[in-house]
Amino acid sequence: MHSSEPQQFKTTRPTRARRHSTRRASASDLPWELISTSHQHTTRLGQAIGRVLRGGETIALYGPLGAGKTALVRGIAVGLNASPTAVTSPTFVVIHEYLGRLPLAHVDLYRIRSLRELESTGLIEYFSGQTVTAIEWADKGLAELPQDRIEIALNHRAARSRTIRLNVTGPKSQEVLTLARRQYSKSAKRHRAAARL
């Protein structure tokens, strides 16, 4: 089925009978699961997250190669008013820093093979202060990650779509993800309205 409207992230909608009670539920019901049909949709989700970050958050990214982790970080950079064109996968450098409304450290642990290597990156120094830290391949550094973090798993669903599952591990990250969900909902409505024009 083809449509002239661009596809949006799709969420599973409850039946009409359950929808009313769901509206009264907290916007932070977790995990939050989405389907992205393009890099642009993944980037838009990142923008919603970036717009509500307050500083000092850690975002742990999980998923195979090509799942959209860097596209999500590009969106976070845009949401922080940093240049999206500067965002590339830091595989060989390990950490890239971008300046925006808040500093963003983009970390890629793909090539890290030991705790000693992880410690030598200086990653832990980013966890204090105002720097937002987005970590690709975060599973390789779980022992060093802050207790309170946003966890985002991206996985291939089909050639052009991905499942994205967002969760939190503490109160600060829950607060941020609740705000990001509201921000995303508002931006998705604006995007749909603009697509109809």
Q: DSSP characters for 134-192?
A: EEETGGGGGGGS-SS-EEEEEEEEETTEEEEEEEESSHHHHHHHHHHHHHHHHHHHHHH
Per-residue pLDDT of the chain (197 residues; tens, 9 = 90+): 444 443 344 444 444 433 333 333 354 467 999 999 888 889 999 999 999 999 999 999 999 998 989 999 999 999 999 987 778 776 667 898 999 999 999 999 998 888 888 888 888 898 988 999 999 999 998 889 999 999 999 999 887 889 999 999 999 999 999 999 999 988 766 666 665 65
Was domain 38-186 assigned CATH 1.10.645.10? no
The SS3 assignment for 46 reads helix
Which residue type, as a one-letter code, is found at position 67?
A
Q: What pLDDT does residue 169 have?
A: 94
What is the structure's pLDDT at 37? 87
**Are the C-beta atoms of 46 and 78 separated by less than 8 Å?**
yes
